[in-house]
Structure 1
Amino acid sequence: MQDQLEENTGRSLNPRYPLYFRTLICFAAAGTLVNAIQWSTPWHLDKALTLGLAAFLLVYTVIAYQISRSASPQNAANVRRWLSFTDTILIGMAIALANFSLLPSLLFVTMVQFNALTEGGGRSWFEHNTGLLLGTGGGYLIHEPALVVNADLNISAASLIGVFTYFCAHAFYTHKQLSQLKDSNRALTQEQHTSKMRTYKLSKYLPQRLWRAVTNGKEGELVTERKLLTVFFSDIKDFSQLTEELEAETLTQLLNSYLSEMARIAGQYGGTIDKFIGDAVMVVFGDDDSKGPKSDALRCVAMALAMRKRAREMKQEWYNKGISRPLQVRMGINTGYCTVGIFGTANYQSYTVMGTHVNLAARLEGAAQPGEILISHETWALIKHSVMCRDKGHVTVKGFSTPVKVYQVTDLRKNLGGQQSYLEDHAPGFSMHLDLDKVRNYDKDKVLQSLEKAAETLKSKVII
C-alpha cells in the first residue's frame, strides 16, 4: 500500500521505504496470528494454516521488495497497485485466521482505510477494501471460525505494537515528505522569481509583440504580413566624430543616457522600438496596439517633437559635462505598407520591419538638417489638420528614381499662437530656450527680469 506514495507525490522515493512499512504491517499480522494459536491443544489443520500464514507474511515482505525493485519504470505503477492489493488480501486472511479478534480486527481495518484514503483516494479505497473483503472471505472459507468474538488482550498485544509502530513511522515519513515539499516549494518559488527576472531582462532586447508571443507560447502567430505602418528614424549628426573625441566610458554613459530618454518617450507615445543602430533609433507605429493609421501617424509625429525637445535639453546637459560639440538630432518619418515578420536563418532570426517605405523613412532622416523633422507626403496627409508643417518641396533621395515630396514639421497646432508653450531661437552669439511648462511660478519674475535686461543691453549695444 505504501508503494503508492511515490506515484501520488510525484517524487523519487527511497525504495526501502515501502519495505519498511510493509514489514511493519506483516510483522504485526504475523504476531497476531502466532498469539492466536492455542499451543496447548493438539496440532490440527487450522493451527498449521495459521502458523503457515504467519511464516508466509514474513517471507512475503522480501518477495514484494524484490518484485518492486525489478519492475520496469513503465510497469512500476501497476506493480505497486497489485502489491497493495495483495497486502490487503493477506491482512484480511490474517483477520479471519485470528478468529476475528476484536481489537486486532479494528486496528487492521482502520489501517487499511487510513492507507487507502491518504495514498490513493476513492479508487485506492475501493481496491483496498475489495482486497480486504476477499482475504477475509477466503480465510473464512479455509478456517473454521469461532462463534464467539475473541477480545483477548494477549492476542492484541502484537497487533497493538505493530500498528502503533506503523502509525509512528508513517507520521515520521509524512513529516519528512512535507519538509521535502516545503524545500521544493521554496526552490520552485526562487526559480520562478529568477525566471521572471530573466524574462524581464530579455524583454529589453525584443519587440514587445515578439516578447509576448514567446513568453505565452504563441510564436506560431508571428506570421509574415503586410501592414500600414508609420516608421520613424533618427540619429545624431557627426556622432562618428564625437566617438573619436570622447573616452569609451564617457561615450557609453552619454549614449545610454540619450537612448534611454528616447526609448522612454517612444514608450510614452505607444511606439515599438524596432532596433538601435549605434546612435540611430528606429521606431514603428501600427504593428503593436494600432489605433488606426491616422492616430499612429499623429502619435509618431508627436513623439518626434517630444524627442527633439528633450534632445535640446540634453544638449545643455552635455555642454555642462564638458562636451562642446552640440547634440544635433535629425529625424525622418514615412507612412506606408511594410512587411512585418521574422527574418533570418535557422540559427539566428530577427523580428523586424522591411520594405520600400522603411527605406524612405531612413532616407528622409539622412536628408534632414540638424534639429529638423522631415515627413513624407503620405504622413503629412494624415496629420495635416493637427500638425503645422512647412512645405519643403521635392528632394532627391538615394534608391528612388523620382524626387520625393517632403514637409518640415514645425509643431502641433495646439502649441502655436496664444497657446504656444515652447520658444526657441538661435543666432550667432544668441541662443534662447524657453519652456513655459517648466517655468515655476516663483521664478517667473526672475525670468522676466533676465529677458528685459538682455533686451536693454542689446538695444544699447552698438554693433559694428
Structure 2
Amino acid sequence: MMNAPLNMGKALVLDGNSAPVAVPPMPDYNGRVVAYTATALIIALGMFEGLFGANMYGLLAGCLIWPHIACYLSRRTLLRKSNRIRQKMLMLDCIFGGACIGTWGLILVPSAAVVLMIMFSCLIVGGIRQWLLGMVLLVVSTSAAVALNGVPASLQAPIWTTLVSLLATGTYICVTAYYAHQQARSLMLAKTQIQNQREQSIALSHKLSKYLSPQVWQSIFTGERDVRLETQRKKLAIFFSDIKGFTDLSEEMEPEALTELLNHYFNEMSEVALKYGGTIDKFVGDSIMVFFGDPTSRGQREDAFACVSMAIEMRKHMKIMRQKWRSQGIKTPLEIRMGISTGYTTVGNFGAENRMDYTIIGKEVNLASRLESLAEPGEILVSYETFSLIKDRIMCRDKGEITVKGFGRPVPIYEVVDFRRDMGPNRSFLEHEHSGFAMYLDSEKVTEKERQSILSALEDAADRLRQEDV
C-alpha cells in the first residue's frame, strides 16, 4: 500500500567499457504490487479463517486493482507533470491503508503489518516530513473507518493470519531493502567513475591551458567567456619584442642547442609577463607579443604602466641571462629590443568555428611591431599615447617622429629610460660590464643572507684587482 521507496532517480553503474549506464531502481509499480499483494493475502486469509466479514470483498478487490490505477494516474494523466507525484500517490496509499485497518477493526498484527509497510515507505521516500504527514492521514482515515464499522470484541488474529501478516511484511521490507542496497552500490560505483572522470578532465584542462594565456584559459573554464567567433573594441597596451643577433646565432649553434636556448628565453620572459598581468598572445620565431587590458583590465593608465614595467624588467633580466649564456660558451651578444603602443584594437576570437585564435588586430598592433623593429638593441620605444599615460612614473626620452602606414600624420615616439624612482643615487638596479667583468645588481631583490655573500664576493674581487695593480 505504498510507493516503492527506492525510486529516488536512476542510478549509474559501469558497463564493460567503463562508461556510466543508467540502471533504474525498483519501479513504483512493482513496489506497489508487492505491498498490495501482501495486504490482499492478509485479507483473503483473514476471511478464510472467519476473522473478517463479507464487507472485506471490496477492499480485497481494491488491493488487487489499485496498483494498476495508480500506475495509470502517474503516467497517463496530467499528474505525471507534477514534480512530487510519488509523494502525492503515497498519501493516497496512506489513506487506503488506514481504510483497511479501520474496516477490519484494528486487528493488531494485520494492522501493525500495514502500518510498518507504510512507515517504511514514507521514511525512505520523503523523510520525517513525509512520515509525519503520512501518519496523520493514516490516523484520520483509520478513525473514519472505525467510526463506520466499529471495533470487534477481540483484537487478536488467528495464528495463520498472524504468521502470514508477519511474513508478508518481512518479505516486502527485505525486497525493498535489497533494491536499496543495489541502488546504493550502483551510486557508489557511479561516484567513483565520476570522480575519475573529473580528475581526468582536470588533468586534461591543465594540459590544454599550456596552449592558451592563463587569463584566457581562466575566463573560458569559469564560464565568463564563450568559445565562439566574436570580437570587441577595447583600448589595450600592445608589446612586441625580439632578439637582436638571434639570426647570426642560429647559424653558429646546433638546432637542438638553439631550441633549448630559445625555450629557456621564452620561459623566463613569460614568467615576467605573467607577473605583471600580461596576456601572452603568441611566440613567432624569437618574437613575443603580449597585450594588457583584456580579458581583465586595471584601467588604461595602469595597463600601460604594467606593460612598460614588464618591458623594463625584461631588459634587466636579459642582461642577467646574457651573462649566464656567456658562461655556457655563447659568445654572440644577444640583446632584446622592444616596442609598445597603446590604443583601440579589435580583440576576440578569429578564425573558423572549428579552429579559433584569440588575438588582436588593428593599426596599433602594426605600430607596436614597427616600434620594435626600429628599436636599437636594449632599447624600449613607446608611442605618444603610451608616453602620456606613464610619463609621471617613468622617465622617457624624445626620439622624434616616424611615419607608419595607417596613420595620417607622423607618430611621435619616445625611448624608455627607467623608473623615476630608480633614477639618481637611490636607484635599485646597477650594471657595469667590460671584457672579463660583468655586474648586475638589483638591490630590491637581494635578501639579507644573500647580501653578506655578495659583499664578500665583491671584496674578494676588489682585493684581486688591487693586487694586480701592484
Structure 1 residue 380 and structure 2 residue 391: aligned?
Answer: no
CA–CA distance in structure 2, aligned partners of residues 357 and 206 of structure 1: 22
What is the match of residue 322 of structure 2?
315
Structure 1 residue 344 and structure 2 residue 354: aligned?
Answer: no
* 1:219 pairs with one of 217, 222, 225: 225
Offset of 1:105 from its aligned partner?
0.8
Counterpart secondary structure, 2:340: strand
CA–CA distance in structure 2, aligned partners of residues 123 and 65 of structure 1: 19
CA–CA distance in structure 2, aligned partners of residues 339 and 179 of structure 1: 54
Q: Answer whether contact 1:4 1:81 (CA < 8 A) is retained.
A: no
Structure-2 change in CA distance of 1:82 and 1:377 (3 Å): closer
CA–CA distance in structure 2, aligned partners of residues 7 and 38 of structure 1: 38
Structure-2 change in CA distance of 1:313 and 1:34 (3 Å): same
Offset of 1:371 from its aligned partner?
1.8
What is the match of residue 148 of structure 1?
153
Q: Answer whether contact 2:6 2:25 (CA < 8 A) is retained.
A: no
Q: Answer whether contact 2:244 2:335 (CA < 8 A) is retained.
A: yes
* 2:455 pairs with one of 434, 444, 462: 444
Structure 1 residue 106 and structure 2 residue 112: aligned?
Answer: yes
What is the match of residue 42 of structure 2?
32
Offset of 1:332 from its aligned partner?
0.8
Q: 1:338 is matched by which residue type in structure 2?
A: T
More moved, 164-173 vs 86-95? 86-95
CA–CA distance in structure 2, aligned partners of residues 379 and 455 of structure 1: 47
CA–CA distance in structure 1, aligned partners of residues 294 and 25 of structure 2: 57
CA–CA distance in structure 2, aligned partners of residues 355 and 183 of structure 1: 54
Structure 1 residue 186 and structure 2 residue 192: aligned?
Answer: yes
Offset of 1:304 from its aligned partner?
0.9
Q: 2:42 is matched by which residue type in structure 1?
A: T
What is the match of residue 355 of structure 1?
362
Counterpart secondary structure, 2:6: helix
Offset of 1:111 from its aligned partner?
2.0
CA–CA distance in structure 2, aligned partners of residues 293 and 245 of structure 1: 43
CA–CA distance in structure 1, aligned partners of residues 191 and 146 of structure 2: 46
Offset of 1:168 from its aligned partner?
3.2
Listed as ranges, the matches of 1:40-439 within 5 Å are: 46-47=53-54, 50=56, 91-92=97-98, 94-96=100-102, 98-120=104-126, 147-152=152-157, 154=159, 155-219=161-225, 224-243=231-250, 245-395=252-402, 403-426=410-433, 429=435, 431-435=437-441, 437=443, 438=446
More moved, 259-268 vs 232-241? 232-241
More moved, 77-86 vs 145-154? 77-86
Structure-2 change in CA distance of 1:355 and 1:38 (3 Å): closer
CA–CA distance in structure 1, aligned partners of residues 196 and 402 of structure 2: 58
Counterpart secondary structure, 1:219: coil
Q: 2:211 is matched by which residue type in structure 1?
A: Y
Q: Answer whether contact 1:363 1:398 (CA < 8 A) is retained.
A: no
Counterpart secondary structure, 2:40: helix
Structure-2 change in CA distance of 1:178 and 1:68 (3 Å): farther
Q: Answer whether contact 2:220 2:226 (CA < 8 A) is retained.
A: no
Q: Answer whether contact 2:4 2:26 (CA < 8 A) is retained.
A: no
Structure-2 change in CA distance of 1:225 and 1:146 (3 Å): closer
More moved, 349-358 vs 392-401? 392-401
What is the match of residue 7 of structure 2?
6
Q: 1:358 is matched by which residue type in structure 2?
A: V
CA–CA distance in structure 1, aligned partners of residues 459 and 50 of structure 2: 123
Q: Answer whether contact 1:100 1:149 (CA < 8 A) is retained.
A: no
Q: 2:6 is matched by which residue type in structure 1?
A: L
Counterpart secondary structure, 1:353: strand
* Deviation string, structure 1 residues 314-372 (Cα, Å, up to 9, x no partner): 22333344434333211111222333333333333333222212211111111112222
Counterpart secondary structure, 2:185: helix
CA RMSD of aligned residues (A): 4.2
CA–CA distance in structure 2, aligned partners of residues 93 and 343 of structure 1: 71
Q: Answer whether contact 1:113 1:125 (CA < 8 A) is retained.
A: no
CA–CA distance in structure 2, aligned partners of residues 114 and 276 of structure 1: 67
Q: Answer whether contact 2:105 2:151 (CA < 8 A) is retained.
A: yes
Offset of 1:303 from its aligned partner?
1.1
Structure-2 change in CA distance of 1:149 and 1:8 (3 Å): farther
Q: 1:178 is matched by which residue type in structure 2?
A: A
CA–CA distance in structure 1, aligned partners of residues 89 and 265 of structure 2: 71
What is the aligned length?
Answer: 450
Counterpart secondary structure, 2:7: helix
CA–CA distance in structure 1, aligned partners of residues 190 and 28 of structure 2: 22
Q: Answer whether contact 1:389 1:409 (CA < 8 A) is retained.
A: yes
Unpaired runs of 5+ in structure 1?
none
Offset of 1:444 from its aligned partner?
1.6
Q: 1:377 is matched by which residue type in structure 2?
A: Y
Q: Percent identity?
A: 35
CA–CA distance in structure 2, aligned partners of residues 434 and 82 of structure 1: 80
More moved, 174-183 vs 392-401? 392-401
Structure-2 change in CA distance of 1:425 and 1:81 (3 Å): closer
